[in-house]
Structure 1
Amino acid sequence: MEKLQIGKITLRWLNGGDTYMDGGAMFGVVPKPLWTRKYPVNEKNQIELRCDPMFLQVNGKNILIEAGIGNGKLTDKQKRNYGVSEESQIEADLEKLGLTAADIDIVLMTHLHFDHACGLTKPSNGGCVSTFPNAKIYTSQVEWDEMRHPNIRSRNTYWPENWEAIAEQVITFQNEITIEDNIRMIHTGGHSAGHSIIMIESEGEKLLHMADIMPTHAHQNPLWVLAYDDYPMDSIREKQKWIPEALQSGAWFSFYHDAYYRALKWNKDGEITATLERERPDQGKLLKNLHRKK
């Protein structure tokens, strides 16, 4: 369980499961010879994408950012189609911290696509119940509206079983909200109409979580946006706005989907200056070979 210190706040990454998605879709119009220099791809043209929430404690509150892929909810067909090789182990990880899902006070949802929101509920008696029954669940009003009333495209990722059981727990906001003094959620749009980013600040140190506007370290280039983005020009605009600001302040960038880095820092020239790597047996070899490519 990797951890990162931001001022007085300790961030920990929990095991939320994974997906293996088509690399071309994850990098949109970027040619494969370019994006494969930045991120490993398998023989099926799939890239590994984690679904790992961050856990932190602020003002005595237990907080999650994102909710993982869930456990026991996906059919075999869904697991195959989404390349799920591992389901969520969030509750087991919380137990290692001396906590249960009932101890979570706040869940911050940047958006509500299935790979972020499946973990909000869990199977029970033929239906679903809230995984975090005592939590306030924050998301933008735009995202919450689309979750409940998806269009012909978005209904493939906004599922009733991921929201019906938690409807009474949801708190929405319009443009921006500050939570427990140290955390800002900012509505950006882009990946989805209601997508938000999260800024954490403590004692002058900052961390920017851009969620699926920058799902991995390989998406740093403002023009490298996903084919899954509903509004790609909005994603580009928000990356052009927030990345330079974060670089200027020396902020960390954190990732929900990156299989290799939990967080990192870049300098103004785009060079990596500090990293928190995900613990995995092949990590060192993979990154060494990848960074060697020109």
Structure 2
Amino acid sequence: MNVKSIVIGAVTMVASLVLVACGAGDSTAKRDNWSSYEESKKITIGFDKTFVPMGFEEKTGQYTGFDIELATAVFNKYGIAIEWQPIDWDLKETELNNGNIDLIWNGYSATDERREKVLFTDDYMANLQVLVTKKSSKIETSADMKDKVLGAQAGSSGYAVFEAQPAILKDLVKNNEATQYATFNEALIDLKNDRIDGLLIDRVYANYYLQQEGLIKDYNIIDAGFEKEAFAVGARKADTTLVDKINAALTELYADGSFQKISDKWFGEDVAADVIKKK
């Protein structure tokens, strides 16, 4: 066999492998995969491992949090084990639709923009975007952020509404832009060290983090003025059975009080009262 034949053969083989790989990814995205989850007894969930108290990594390396416990309770009903996969939150929908994960479950706000990319479960928790500032800064309202430096997490619903509703903050802050961070942890460090003046963040994260760090008395948690949000679980659009199964399990867990026990452990209150009870 001459060199030309070898090269052509190698190129053909690589092209075939690429097509097979793409086909596998497409088939996962375009079909209802519930039977596969049942057969394998496992499912992969993507999450931001720094998002306290929803899902995060402890110093021991163990994953814990409200969403970790809630998801585990849901899939225990079906005998399915969860493989938790830390992801870059800015790439979450790409990871989902490429088949690298099967669900996004980690304080994931169900927004209209995201509904174009994923299939959401029913809401299971209310949320609000808040502005966190140092009390020493005298910034006590969104209007006080005029010409100040704002931070936000890249790919977060907070950054999305910041861009979509400029009159609330974007038109006020310095350079009409927000400094983007990979994680809220990084952003809070910069806020603490005065590299930014305010941080747009999920209320649930702000409350938990500042309380755990003993800093709650030193910071303002301000309603930024955006509409209330709700957390839900994101799946590929073809995974309708999976979404139905999660919805059913959440309803059962709420009815038997298991949901409330998990909620009370992490928040000291029933965080689903405003969403699940309306069904």
Q: Same fold (TM over 0.5)?
A: no
If the length of structure 1 is used for normalisation, what is the TM-score? Answer: 0.27
- Answer with 1 or 2: which has the greater Rg: 2
Tell me: higher relative CO, structure 1 or 2? Use CA pairs within 8 A at least 6 residues apart: 2
| Structure number with higher strand proportion | 1
If the length of structure 2 is used for normalisation, what is the TM-score? Answer: 0.28
